[in-house]
Structure 1
Amino acid sequence: MLSAEQNDLITRTGPGTPAGRLMRQYWQPAALVDELKGNRPIKPVRLFGEDLVIFKDDQGRYGLVGRHCPHRGTDLAFGRLENGGLRCAFHGWLFDVNGKCLETPAEPDNSNLCANIKQKAYPVVEKSGILFAYLGDGEPPAFPHFDCFVAPDSHTFAFKGMIDCNWLQSLEVGIDPVHTSFLHRFFHDEDPTKGYGKMFRDNTKDADMPMTQIMREVTRPRIEVDETDYGFRIVTLRQISDASTHVRVTNLVFPNAFMIPMSREMTISQWHVPIDDTKHYWYAIFTSFGKAVDKDTMRNQRLELYQLPDYIPNRNKSNDYGFDPHEQESETYTGMGADINVHDQWACESMGTIQDRTQEHLGTSDKAIIAYRKLLRQSLEKSGKGEKPILVVDEKEAASITGPLAIDGIGPVDDWKGYYQRSEAQKREAMSWKA
């Protein structure tokens, strides 16, 4: 249980807040590359409480600038993309991707007004279908050499979705290994050969057991949390028999991401990024270690649930998330359909726009949540003192931060750690691409 002040400290991320300053020291997803495809690659975005515009100029460079023109405050989201930048439609002021004012065409020829104008701008880089932005001060950190960043484009797919609550609720759901036995429980197991692109539809590794069966039948797992150079590793053990145990390895990537196995072939790397304190987007990179990703299938599956252009979920509070009491009796634990994103969305949003953690009661199964909050508070303290927090790294350090390990399989009770290490080595030996 936290105090109200402690809850505010770890949830509020607007400009000038402690958590906002900390999270701005990392590259954060700002948009999908897909959102800037087409004839007019420009989109308004709200990120960490700031109103911005992301665009691609006529030279193929990405920019992220303040939404309101520094001349008289009009909306640059309606600007023109021309002459190497973004031009305001009000008086023609032109800005490049770095926020430099290139032209003030209504001013006299000898005016130096333009030279003294600088629009707010943040650097943007493309990684595996996501446009990441750095909103912090000074030089941005290097990207760790995670699988999702070093895999070829053919083996990754990116998507996003909006959730109508504070970012921390979703991050904490993502690192909670116990909720899958309840929230994502299916009373019937699907054919794994028909589960491409879907979470928990595959058989677990080294056994002919559907992941859904294991989650449903073993509800009191043992949880181990180990510190790493990127955050921590979560090992969840569900004992199947005297000799064998289900071993699921997931990861918290500080400050606001997790990386988990989706199937025997794919992993999910997912960030929860504040729009402001009461809304956020999840961004995910799906990485395949086997055959190339069928991006059309993956995209079409997800577009059944989300409406463009803002990736707003079709199932939401306004329609009770599609809740069907008859389905809840015999098909799924929630009665909200077969897509786990809907289940997670309901869980996160039903806590309120910002969860009141002064009223919660954590148990032994919340081990990873407790570990994350401790790491977050420690990092906030470091950041407040001007010290470098975890995973703010240079190129040399970043090259050594790889993986991370993500396994879902059945191994021996007395050597579960050796099992997941061997399984990871086998996966990398057999993978269809090499970093």
Structure 2
Amino acid sequence: MISAELNDLMTRVGPGAPAGTLLRRYWQPVALVDELAGPRPVKAVRLLGQDLVLFRDEHGHLGLMDRDCPHRGADLAYGRLEGGGLRCPFHGWLFDKSGQCLETPAEPAGSKLCTRIRQAAYPVVERSGIVFGYLGDGEPPAFPEFDCFVAPDSHTFAFKGLFDCNWLQALEVGIDPAHASYLHRFFQDEDTSESYGKQFRGASADSSMPITQVLREYDRPEIRVHPTDYGMRLTALRQLNDRDMHVRVTNVVFPQAFVIPMSSEMTISQWHVPVDDTSCYWYAIFTSFTGPVDKQQMRAQRLELYELPDYVPRKNRANGYGYDVQEQLTETYTGMGMDINVHDQWAVESQGRIQDRTREHLGTTDKGIIAYRKLLVKAIEDTQAGESAPMLIRADEAANFSGPPSIDGIGLAENPDAYWRDADLERRRKSDWASARLGA
């Protein structure tokens, strides 16, 4: 259990809040690039408790600004895209992507008022189908050369979904390898050849054994936590027999992302991004090491669960997450359907919009969560003291980061670390884009 004060320290993210100040030192996903498609690429966004407007001007340049017009506070999300920027419909004030006011047309001729007006604006970039923004002070850190950022566009797919809860409990479900044997348990195994685009439905690498069978029959994993330069690596080991070990390697990338295996050919890099203190979006980049991603199929699969334009889950608190008692008796452990995103959503939302951690009792399998919280609190305290924090890297350091390796497979029990390292290297050697980087 932890104190209420420490819980607030870790979870509150608004302007001036200690955790919010820390997270503003990093690039944060703002929107999917797809959300700016269409005739009017302007979108209202809320991030870390701030109301912003994201837009693409006539020249194709991205801009991210505070949403309230500095004249009289009207909503710039309804602005007109013209004149090299975004124009407020109230009095015609025009702002470029840097926030500089270019025109105040209702003012007297010759007025210099616009030269003295600047709206708060923030750096913004596109990476692998996601628009990232930087809300902090000073220069933003460099992007590490992780797989999700260096793979060709054809081999990545980005999506997102809304969680009705605080960002930290949403992130912590991914730092908990043990829950998969229960929360994501299926009582029957499906044809693994039909598992494309579905997590925990295919076969483990280097075997024909369905991952659903592994999780169901071997439900007491040994969990190892290893500090890394990017955060931490978690290894979940399930002893299948005297010879074979199921090995699952996942990663926490500080401050709020994890990289996990989706299948033998694909990984997921996922961020949990605060909208405010009580809601967050997950943003994911799916990265393929084999052929191009079937983006149409991946998108269609996910739109069965999420409703546009805000990517709100169709199964949610209001409809009991689709819970069905007969299904819970005969098909799934939760009774909430076959999509594990619904399972995770229920698990984290049912804790409350901000989990009361003064009431929790952690166990041995929560060692990753305990290690992450220590890392988070130290980074918050260091930031408050004006010091550095993990992953605030320079451009000349970006190439020092690769991968990180993320494997789900079956190897010899005698040396699981050697297995996942060899499996990662072999997958890269067989990949057109990843093999080209091995000699770099």
Q: Distance in 1 between matches of 2:100 and 2:268?
A: 37
Within-5 A mapping of 1:34-433: 34-433=34-433
List gaps (5 residues or longer) in structure 1. Answer: none
Could you tell me how far 1:415 is from its partner in structure 2? 0.7
Partner of 1:24: 24
Could you tell me how far 1:432 is from its partner in structure 2? 2.6
Q: Distance in 2 between matches of 1:328 and 1:152?
A: 41
Superposed CA RMSD in Å reads 0.7
Task: Provide Cα deviations, 1:11-69, integer angstroms capped at 9, x if missing partner.
Answer: 00110011001011100000000000000100101100001111111110111111110
Q: Distance in 2 between matches of 1:139 and 1:8?
A: 28
Task: Provide Cα deviations, 1:399-421, integer angstroms capped at 9, x if missing partner.
Answer: 11110000011111111111111
Partner of 2:4: 4
Task: Provide Cα deviations, 1:96-137, integer angstroms capped at 9, x if missing partner.
Answer: 111111111111222111111110111110000000000100
Q: Distance in 2 between matches of 1:214 and 1:299?
A: 28
Partner-residue secondary structure (3-state), 2:106 = coil
Task: Provide Cα deviations, 1:136-189, integer angstroms capped at 9, x if missing partner.
Answer: 000000000000000000000000000000000110001110000000000011
Q: Distance in 2 between matches of 1:69 and 1:380?
A: 32
Q: Distance in 2 between matches of 1:20 and 1:330?
A: 44
Could you tell me how far 1:206 is from its partner in structure 2? 1.2
Residue identity matched to 1:86: L
Q: Distance in 2 between matches of 1:432 and 1:243?
A: 33
Residue identity matched to 2:39: N
Q: Distance in 2 between matches of 1:62 and 1:82?
A: 14
Could you tell me how far 1:396 is from its partner in structure 2? 1.3
Q: Distance in 2 between matches of 1:227 and 1:401?
A: 14
Residue identity matched to 1:167: W
Could you tell me how far 1:382 is from its partner in structure 2? 1.3
Task: Provide Cα deviations, 1:373-399, integer angstroms capped at 9, x if missing partner.
Answer: 011011112111111100000011111
TM (norm. structure 1) is 0.99
Q: Distance in 1 between matches of 2:140 and 2:369?
A: 28
Residue identity matched to 1:62: L
Could you tell me how far 1:243 is from its partner in structure 2? 1.6
How many residue pairs match? The answer is 435
Could you tell me how far 1:202 is from its partner in structure 2? 1.2
Partner-residue secondary structure (3-state), 1:283 = strand
Q: Distance in 2 between matches of 1:11 and 1:147?
A: 29
Q: Distance in 2 between matches of 1:263 and 1:185?
A: 17
Residue identity matched to 2:399: A
Could you tell me how far 1:343 is from its partner in structure 2? 0.4
Task: Provide Cα deviations, 1:281-339, integer angstroms capped at 9, x if missing partner.
Answer: 00000000001000000000001111110000000011000000000011000000000
Q: Distance in 2 between matches of 1:371 and 1:242?
A: 31
TM (norm. structure 2) is 0.98
Q: Distance in 1 between matches of 2:361 and 2:284?
A: 30
Q: Distance in 1 between matches of 2:332 and 2:153?
A: 35
Q: Distance in 1 between matches of 2:274 and 2:245?
A: 37
List gaps (5 residues or longer) in structure 2. Answer: none
Residue identity matched to 1:350: S
Could you tell me how far 1:76 is from its partner in structure 2? 0.5
Q: Distance in 1 between matches of 2:415 and 2:263?
A: 22
Q: Distance in 2 between matches of 1:398 and 1:229?
A: 12
Q: Distance in 1 between matches of 2:390 and 2:307?
A: 36
Partner-residue secondary structure (3-state), 1:433 = helix
Over the matched positions of the two proteins, sequence identity in percent amounts to: 65
Residue identity matched to 2:116: N
